[in-house]
Amino acid sequence: MRNRHHWLTAILLSFILLFGPGYPSLRAASADPDLSIDFTIRDKNGDPVSGFTHGYRVLIQGTTDSGSDLSGDYTLAVSGAADTTVSFSSGSATIEVPAGTVATIRDLPFNSQVKLRVVQRIRSNGNVDAVYEDVTTSDLDSNDSLILDSDKSVHFNVDHESLFKTITIYPKVFEDSWPEDTLFRYKMNFWNEEGLDLSLLSYTIEGDPTVYTPAMVNGQLTIEAMIPVNKKLTIRGLPVGISFGGNNYTTAEQYNIYWNNDYQAVAGGFIAVTDVAARHESLSSGVIQDKTQGTWTINLFRRSASAAIAKFYAAPAGADPDELYDFKVTLFDTALNRPHTGKVWVTIGSVDLYNSIMHGSFIPSNIPVTEKLVDTDANGSFYLSLKANEVAVLGRLYQDRFYPQDYLTIGTNERVYNNQLSPMLYLPQEGLLPVYTKVTVEELTKDYEAVPGVGKPGGYVQEATSTYATTDVFHYLNARLFDSSLRLSKTVEGENGEFDFTIRLKDVSDTIPDTYSYSGDKQGTLNFAAISSETGTKTAKDGRTSDIEYSIFEATISLKGGESITIDGLPAGCEYEVIEKDPEGYNVESTGSKGTLESGKTSEVSFTNRRITPTPTDTPVSTPATAATTTSAPPVSSDTTPVPTSTSTPTPSPTPVPGKVVKTGEASGKSGTYIPVLFLISAVSVGGLLVRKKDEE
């Protein structure tokens, strides 16, 4: 009994020791545990994010299971760093979660409710974005909160693309303007006053496997590259909000296109950034943002150029105002190393147009001009005609009627606006002339000389390579040449004598000199008098027509056989004709009697006269139809009585007999022998028959 009593007492004492109020430390062992929350920043693929920013600030608002605000100090442990303390005040606290780490708050009360939200992004220099909402998590409920009934992990997922942008620079040759070996020099500077992390920034060039990682120097990062045309440069890892800008290398006017070992500045190249409507602003400066991302198509134009041909003449004896002068123009594209073929605008105007060109590159709309599109041949050549005091412009100059629209559409949703059209882009379909086109001009009318110190003579070939800055003007300011000669020679076969000639000149001018000297077997001067005029239509090589009034002049001179003269100082280009007057009794042959006088040459004219000699007339022979029988009498002696010398009687027509052919019109002198001959033939035939019959018997 006693032993059982002691056993029960031992059980009771043990229960008191374990659960009695006098032992609180034993009671605490059964209380709710303290919990923790792990925070991690991940990308959308679930991988830890690092390198693009310093970290994030997370706002924590908490209450206990009894509804009171969470308060007190708690431990914040960050991997790779010493522990720190987080203090809650009025239920809130803010912690920093560095990118690429795990941040843990420990010792939080069991069953407390915590609301979490990322409120700031921390930059590398310590600056923060005031509000940052591009971070999401699936570990919270719809109220962005959770209940700490166990240790928790919260993964904040960052949309990487929302933080960084990718830009592609695409220098595209517009309308075959530049050759394939052309480069586009691109330079962009980035400034990092915001303290953004640029460690992920890199760029590549299409066709080059190298990944370039530019370094930050003194707070600035520079990308500079020579991009082959029609290739792409791609820049990755550009943080949103970073400022960028260029210098003269990326402004719209200078040092963009690298060709022929030189930068094509104002004289040659022009870029126009075109793409969707949101990206019309230039890449010369700005801030990386959502609309910045994408492909920037940079169309590489050539500038439009122009050339001009001016035709003038000087007194004396210039030309008819409506005379047409032919030119041959040849265009060669030195950039593409081939003839410039296709259509070319030709604008023809008067002296007002010429003065406008010489004082600037603008054709006012009030100047009357004639415009036409001219087709070149496969060699880049075409013909052009001008009247005196006209000028032709090849290509187009600045003019307010060139682009009536507010923009130029060059592709789907691709536009270049008017402020970029002012430098005159080269558009092949518009018949424009690109810079670096070699223009060769030859005047085909060779009858003029250059006025001393000004212009070029007719027939002179000029060439120049067009540039944007100036309009090349080919001057053909010249005077009439009087250096042609005409040599007239006379040859006579038979009786010689003086022969008269008329020399006629036909010229477009009514003011040519009227007196010209001649030399040779005779010396002197010829006085030409205006006798008439006539109108003719001239068609130039380009098909242009003009009514020309020609003046006719005449002079006369006499030459004997064996003589010749040479007339000097005649106007080149003048038509001539030499006419011999009334060469009675002579057959006349001539060479070169008509033609056109050529500069510096002698036109040869020769006349040969042959005397016409009469030939003896033959004795007429009587025809059989009119023949008569003539009987000749014997000679009459001196001592006989004269008798008629002859008696003529008509011969009667023979009487037809059977079997006999009578030919009418036979001479009667044959009638005495005709019948005997027939009789003889008949007798022979009869005799032959008799002999044959006797032989048969």
Strands 208-212 and 545-560: unpaired
pLDDT at position 599 over 90: no
Nearest to 186 by CA among 274, 124, 247: 247
Q: Which residues on neighbouring strands pair with residue 222, listed in sequence order?
A: 189
Residues 154 and 246 in one domain: no
Domain stop point among 596, 611, 626: 611
282 burial (CB, 10 Å; 0-12 / 13-18 / 19+) is middle
Domain stop point among 141, 158, 175: 158
The answer for residues whose C-beta is within 8 angstroms of residue 133's C-beta and 6 or more apart is 118
pLDDT at position 304 over 60: yes
**Domain coverage including residue 546:** 484-611
Residues 103 and 241 in one domain: no
Nearest to 599 by CA among 572, 571, 569: 572
CA 251, 252, 255 angle in degrees (round to 5)?
Answer: 70
Residues 469 and 556 in one domain: no
Phi, psi of 668, rounded to the nearest 5 degrees: -70, -20
CA 602, 605, 609 angle in degrees (round to 5)?
Answer: 160
pLDDT per residue over 59-78, tens digit each? 999 999 888 999 999 999 99
466 and 437 Cβ atoms separated by less than 8 Å: yes
- Classify residue 655: in a domain, yes or no: no
Contacts for 666-669 with beta carbons within 8 Å, 24 or more apart? Answer: 666/624, 667/624, 667/627, 668/627, 668/628, 668/629, 669/627, 669/629
Q: What band does 430 get if pLDDT is binned at 50, 70 and 90? A: confident
Residues 109 and 181 in one domain: no
Phi, psi of 283, rounded to the nearest 5 degrees: -85, 15
pLDDT at position 529 over 50: yes
pLDDT, average across residues 404-433: 59
Residues 189 and 126 in one domain: no
pLDDT, average across residues 232-252: 71
Residues 145 and 172 in one domain: no
Q: What band does 492 get if pLDDT is binned at 50, 70 and 90? A: very high
Residues 334 and 449 in one domain: yes
pLDDT per residue over 616-666, tens digit each? 665 555 545 444 444 444 444 444 444 444 444 444 444 444 433 333 333
- Alpha-carbon gap, residue 294 to 663, rounded angstroms: 121
Q: What band does 448 get if pLDDT is binned at 50, 70 and 90? A: low
- Alpha-carbon gap, residue 582 to 278, rounded angstroms: 92
The string of DSSP letters for 242-304 reads -EEE--TTTSSSSS-EEETTEEE-TTTEEEEEESSGGG-S-TTEEE--GGG-EEEEEEEEEBE
Residues 326 and 445 in one domain: yes
pLDDT, average across residues 462-486: 77
User: Which three-class secondary structure state does DSSP give residue 430?
Assistant: helix
pLDDT at position 16 over 60: no
- Classify residue 629: in a domain, yes or no: no
Greatest alpha-carbon pair distance for the chain in Å reads 243
Q: Is the peptide bond before 316 cis (omega within 30 degrees of 0)?
A: yes
pLDDT per residue over 35-51, tens digit each? 999 998 887 777 766 55
Q: What band does 290 get if pLDDT is binned at 50, 70 and 90? A: confident
pLDDT, average across residues 94-118: 89
- Classify residue 323: in a domain, yes or no: yes
pLDDT at position 452 over 60: no
484 and 603 Cβ atoms separated by less than 8 Å: yes
pLDDT per residue over 576-594, tens digit each? 999 999 888 899 999 999 9
Domain stop point among 112, 141, 158: 158
- Classify residue 635: in a domain, yes or no: no
Q: What band does 284 get if pLDDT is binned at 50, 70 and 90? A: low
Residues 315 and 352 in one domain: yes
Residues 131 and 171 in one domain: no
The predicted pLDDT at position 663 comes to: 34
Nearest to 564 by CA among 504, 523, 610, 599: 523
CA 204, 205, 211 angle in degrees (round to 5)?
Answer: 30
User: Which three-class secondary structure state does DSSP give residue 226?
Assistant: strand
- Alpha-carbon gap, residue 99 to 539, rounded angstroms: 85
Find the range with the poorest average confidence among 203-212, 272-281, 349-358: 272-281
What CATH number should be reported for the domain holding residue 173?
2.60.40.1140
Nearest to 573 by CA among 631, 634, 488, 507: 507
- Classify residue 202: in a domain, yes or no: yes
The predicted pLDDT at position 660 comes to: 37
pLDDT at position 311 over 80: yes
- Classify residue 64: in a domain, yes or no: yes
Residues 297 and 308 in one domain: no
- Classify residue 493: in a domain, yes or no: yes
* Higher local confidence (pLDDT), 659 or 543: 543
State how many domains the chain has. 4
Find the range with the poorest average confidence among 26-30, 84-88, 564-568, 597-601: 26-30
Find the range with the poorest average confidence among 186-190, 377-381, 426-430, 448-452: 448-452
The predicted pLDDT at position 606 comes to: 97
- Classify residue 22: in a domain, yes or no: no
The percent of residues in the chain predicted with pLDDT above 70, rounded, is 66
The answer for residues whose C-beta is within 8 angstroms of residue 326's C-beta and 6 or more apart is 383, 384, 385, 443, 444, 445, 540, 541, 542
pLDDT at position 269 over 90: no
Residues 422 and 571 in one domain: no
Q: What band does 10 get if pLDDT is binned at 50, 70 and 90? A: low
The predicted pLDDT at position 338 comes to: 94
